[in-house]
Amino acid sequence: MSAPTPSHRLAVVTAAGRERRAFPRHSTRASARCRPAQLPLNPASWARVVDVSRTGVGLLTAVAFAAGDQVEIELSPPAATNDLVRAAEVCWVAPEPGGWYRLGCRWDRGLTFAELEAFI
């Protein structure tokens, strides 16, 4: 099963049509592995990183996590640098064609600008 391109992008905008996020999302070619935070020894499942910001990450994965789940995400930057492991909460889940799921996750501790820079 190959990872599809997300069929939609969920934008958070105000009534006036402006983005309301404090930190913008950035497209990236990074990949990730994701697992439930309460099961750190379980194998992680592969995920495609759709976008990333200082406060969160959008993922495409074959695992049906639920909103409210606590997860551990290991991001692998496109350049050959160290992976970044960070805890996050799944804020929303949307099914995608082919058995995939689009996740919106909020970092427990935001990324620094230097950490974010490795992924954009």
In CATH, what number is assigned to the domain containing residue 105? 2.40.10.220
Q: What's the pLDDT at 65?
A: 95
Whether 9 has a pLDDT exceeding 80, the answer reads: no
Residue 18 located in a structural domain: no
Instruction: Please give the average per-residue pLDDT across 50-72, as a whole number.
Output: 94
Residue 31: how many other CB atoms lie within 10 Å: 17
Q: What's the pLDDT at 80?
A: 63
Count the domains in the chain: 1
φ and ψ at residue 99, rounded to 5 degrees: 85, 15
Give the pTM: 0.78
24, 71 Cβ separation under 8 angstroms? no
Q: What's the pLDDT at 21?
A: 56
Rounded CA gap, 57 and 51, in Å? 6
77, 84 Cβ separation under 8 angstroms? yes
Q: Mean pLDDT across the chain, nearest whole number?
A: 83
Residue 88 structural domain: 26-112
Of the two residues 56 and 7, the one the predictor is more confident about is: 56
